[in-house]
Structure 1
Amino acid sequence: MDVDDQLGSYRGDRPGPIAGSGSGVEGAYGSGCPYSGARAGSTGAAGQAGGADPGTEDFDSHDPALAEDPFPAYARLRSRCPVSWSGAWGGFWVATRHAEVSEAGRDGVFRTGHLLADGTLQGVTIPPLGQTGRLVPLEEDAPRNLKFRKLLSSFYSAGRVRERMPELRRLARESVDAVISEGACDLVTALTLRVPGVVTMRDLGLPDDRWFEIDSLVHQALLAAPHDLAGARDHAQRITMALVEELDVRREYGTDTTDRSLFPLLLAGRVDGEPVSDEDILSMLYLILLGIDPVSSLTATALLHLEEHPSLRARLIADPALIPRAADEFLRWMSPVQGTARTVAEHVELGGRTLRAGERVFVSWASANRDEAVFADPDTVDLDRDISGHLAFGAGSHYCLGASLVRALFTVMLEEVLTRIPDYRVSDRGAVTWFPDITSFYGVISLPVRFTPRSG
């Protein structure tokens, strides 16, 4: 099957919001936001449904109307109700200003690993996926998550990423080599998905040529939820089985100095003095797989923006040294991970609202990164701005471990395109496709282009 045919498995139509869970972008944010009163229909641990609250907003991150451009919706929330209550998916809070998002990301009261009385994990999604296993270390809270992060930190350190730059550049060059004589390609399948996909296969000890197979399963699992949780679990199980096979081989035959994957590190690792369990190893490997798509969508969306803004493209072509800086500005501007959920561990004030123990919060990194109080003219890509405060990698003890690798992958892929096919142009704007659900990731997943063919 052709690669683009296989991509149809996650480019298909998505069902709309469940009835009553959202009404799209327009007309959904008409109320004011008084900083008092109870939310309507609260399902928090306190179990007390409040009366009608003018601060209730009809926000649903699964709404397909938000897929291509959620930012006007965030702007309305920031201006009218920066910490608002949504009635979608049983009810949850939405934090949209930089100050409150940063606080929720750093304050240990807002948990990623909260368990219900029956052992069901609330996790980082709204609605919860209903699993009992955790994505480690993302769905562990401090201090335990820090012990798992310590295991992984050396593998993804800035120093190790610098050592891998020749490998990353070679992969980007080979990807462009494969299409440059044709004068046309989909930059996502040819480059922005392939390069991080192959890198991730190597990190997990899998053959390079399995990247598309495994990543397609990830897409199917992501996009099945929350409407088809059984399907999502089935796809996730197929991924897990591939990882189990590799783990079993390493357990039986051991590793040696030629093994550049994560397995030697994880098999030798200790948490609280005990070997890392197979369950936790598999969970960490699965979480790493989820890092392929945000790198791809970040880079592809940046390439689309540069195609639409010739002066900005010309500036980066003329001065490639700006590309690493552009990585962080595009991260701020588009935020491939739009937000993650937290569960409130105890009653707490956030942005003038009282959040009760057990209630959920959608922490919108993307909205915080467009906060006018922090970033002037936030909807514009500005390579000269101070971007030190962006939250695209999260905050606190859950700050993205792969941040250095993300920046490096973006840099080598943009350099390769702007150096070797600088005149690329979108060949079919109607075929430019976006992730259909921003709760998975945000950004471009198909970018067909033409360019001047070259011999290599």
Structure 2
Amino acid sequence: MAFMSNAPVYHIDLKAFWIDPYPDLAKMRAETPIAYVPELDATLLTLRDDIFREEKRIEVFSSEQPGGLMTTLMGENMMRKDGAAHMAERKMIFPSVSPRTVRDVWKRQFESATCDILDHLPCDNVDLVRDFAMPVSAEALKAMTGLTNMYFAEMDRVSQGMIDGCANYAGDPQVEANCHDCTASIDAHIDARIPELRTKPDLSLLCVAMTAGMPQEQIRANIKLAISGGQNEPRDAIAGTIAALLDHPVQLQKALSGEVTWLQVFEEYARWMSPIGMSPRRIAKAYTLNDITFEPEDRAFLMFGSGNRDELIFANPDVFDVTRDTTKAISFGAGPHFCAGAWASRCMIAEVALPMFFERFKNVTLTETVAYRGWAFRGPLSVKARGLVQ
């Protein structure tokens, strides 16, 4: 276990925390805003301003984690680098994810794929996670990564497998084995696409990284990073936002009437439910924060999901309110590791998936209560609905 010199200890029930972490996080914010949680073997930062400030202090809260789960399972991607090394790789892939490329290249592909998926949705007994959000997110990710040879369901499978692997702090060998199977599938699909992209280059992440001269090992690691962060989170955000709106009809009407934009709706959902709830850091040198002493090699978790419900920042933070000012939300991170795919996610969800769905379907209703689960990554297990009649 990591050693914390003087952080107060806070115990959690792992299953209860997975079902709903917010009561524990609220108690931590009120009583022990920096706390060591033995069940996670990590020190959690739970206040928004602490997270926002300290995430930028990379000389202490380092993303470099040579023995961390992500590095071990997926390779040393740019998320696990700091400073010049991180920025160099980020600069290499920027042409693929820039706001201009999203606007001029990817948006049209998002719209085309989403239209086709909407055309084939069943009218009743539909699961909006499985039948809509999952293929929308996967088809977008296939195009952007360059792995157009991967079936959309396989994209979803390998993403979930890597996410489970990176959150496998209990060391379950079956979870680890499945993660290795998923990364092997990605490598095989990359191998098959490289010759095609050399003859017919495009703006996909794979092709752009190859053209920039990124080493093969780093290309593979960063493709895996893009899939782990670019499939399940947008999938869960699309389905979860639709579910939240259907469960809050007054909020939905504000979006349909134009009182608020679909981007405001998405940003509020991302604050309220935090699809990415946590980011791990390694303590690189001794450091004291708010009378808590961190020791080298301690593990710290920046709890974005907690910061997004910080009562000191957001009034009534547990309430889903699309009119809320979300400027201070940290849903995409706050420092040099701010999500590189943020522009693509906002486009796919707020400019394409949400407006196209609600333009098609006017009388959708939920058929069962939606269960949101997870704390490192959080989203709906399913969103069962009916009334999808055009």
Structure 1 and Structure 2 fold alike (TM over 0.5): yes
Structure 1 segment 398-417 matched on structure 2, within 5 A: 398-411=337-350, 412-417=352-357
8 Å contact from structure 2 (residues 7, 292) kept in 1: no
CA contact (8 A) 1:203 1:262 kept: yes
Alignment-derived partner of residue 223 in structure 2 = 285
d(CA) in 1 for partners of 2:144 and 2:221? 14
SS in 2 for 1:379: coil
Contact 1:267–1:276 (CA under 8 A) maintained in structure 2: yes
Q: Specify which structure has the bigger relative contact order, considering alpha-carbon pairs within 8 angstroms and separated by 6 or more residues.
A: 2
The corresponding residue for 1:58 is 11
> Take 2:210 and 2:129, find their aligned partners in 1: how far apart are those partners?
34
Q: Which residue of 1 aligns with 2:191?
A: 248
Deviations 1:206-241 (A, max 9, x none): 336612123213323433623455433433333333
Q: Return closer, same or farther for 1:141/1:452 CA change in 2, 3 Å cut-off.
A: closer
**Aligned runs of 1:34-53 on 2, under 5 Å?**
43-44=2-3
Distance 1:418 1:356, change over 3 A: same
Among 176, 185, 206, which residue is 2:118 paired with? 176
Cα distance in 2 for residues equivalent to 1:207 and 1:132: 23
Distance in 1 between the 2:182 and 2:129 partners?
Answer: 22
Contact 1:106–1:396 (CA<8 Å) still a contact in 2? yes
* Cα offsets for 1:81-106 (capped at 9, x unmatched): 101122224x3211000111112211
Residue 113 to residue 54, structure 1, CA distance change in 2 (3 Å): closer
- Cα shift at 1:406: 1.1
Residue 443, structure 1, aligned to residue 379, structure 2: yes
Tell me what 1:236 maps to. Answer: 179
Report how many aligned residue pairs link the two structures: 384
1:202 aligns to what SS in structure 2?
helix
Contact 1:240 1:282 (8 Å CA) reproduced = no
CA distance in 1, matches of 2:119, 2:101: 26
Q: Residue 186 of structure 1 is aligned with which of 127, 142, 145? A: 127
Q: Give the CA deviation at 1:179.
A: 1.6
Counterpart residue identity of residue 423, structure 1:
N
Cα distance in 2 for residues equivalent to 1:54 and 1:242: 42
Decide whether aligned partners of structure 1 residues 253 and 170 sit closer, same or farther in structure 2, where only a CA change above 3 A counts.
Answer: closer
Alpha-carbon contact 2:333-2:339 (below 8 Å) kept: yes
Which consecutive unaligned segments of at least 5 residues does structure 1 have? 1-41, 116-120, 123-127, 270-274
- Shift in Å at residue 253 of structure 1? 5.9
SS in 2 for 1:101: helix
Deviation at 1:339, TM superposition (A): 0.6
Question: 1:276 and 2:214 equivalent?
Answer: yes
The one-letter code matched in structure 1 to 2:237 is: L
1:131 aligns with 2:90: no
Aligned-residue sequence identity (percent) comes to 21
| 1:296 matches 2:239 | no
- Cα distance between partner residues in 2 of 1:333 and 1:231: 32
Structure 2, unmatched stretches of 5+, are none
TM-align CA RMSD: 2.4
Give the drift of 1:360: 1.0
Correspondence for 2:154:
213
The Cα of 1:189 is off from its aligned counterpart by: 1.3
Q: Which amino acid aligns with 2:216?
A: D
CA separation in 2, counterparts of 1:83 and 1:220? 30
Q: In the alignment, is residue 166 of structure 1 matched against residue 108 of structure 2?
A: yes
Q: Which of the two has greater helix per residue?
A: 2
Residue matched to 1:33: none
Following the alignment from structure 1 to structure 2, what is the Cα–Cα distance between the partners of residues 381 and 247? 40
Letter in structure 2 aligned against 1:176: L
Q: Map 1:13-412 onto structure 2 (within 5 A).
A: 43-44=2-3, 55-59=8-12, 63-89=14-40, 91-108=41-58, 109-115=60-66, 121-122=67-68, 128=69, 131=72, 134-163=75-104, 164-179=106-121, 182-207=123-148, 210-223=151-164, 225-249=168-192, 251-252=194-195, 255-257=198-200, 259-269=202-212, 275-290=213-228, 291-319=230-258, 322-411=261-350, 412=352
- Residue in 1 that maps onto 2:362: 422
**TM-score of the two chains, using structure 2 as the length reference:** 0.90
Counterparts of 2:71 and 2:231 in 1: how far apart (Å)?
Answer: 24
Match of 1:23 in 2: none
Amino acid at match of 1:342: R
Aligned partners of 2:195, 2:358: CA distance in 1, in Å? 46
Dislocated runs of 4+, deviation >4 Å: 249-254
Amino acid at match of 1:94: L
Residues 369, 390 of structure 1: 8 Å contact kept: yes
How far off is 1:251 after superposition? 5.0
Which of the two has higher C-alpha Rg? Answer: 1
C-alpha separation in 1, matches of 2:357 and 2:147: 27
Write the distance in 1 (CA, Å) between the matches of 2:347 and 2:121: 22
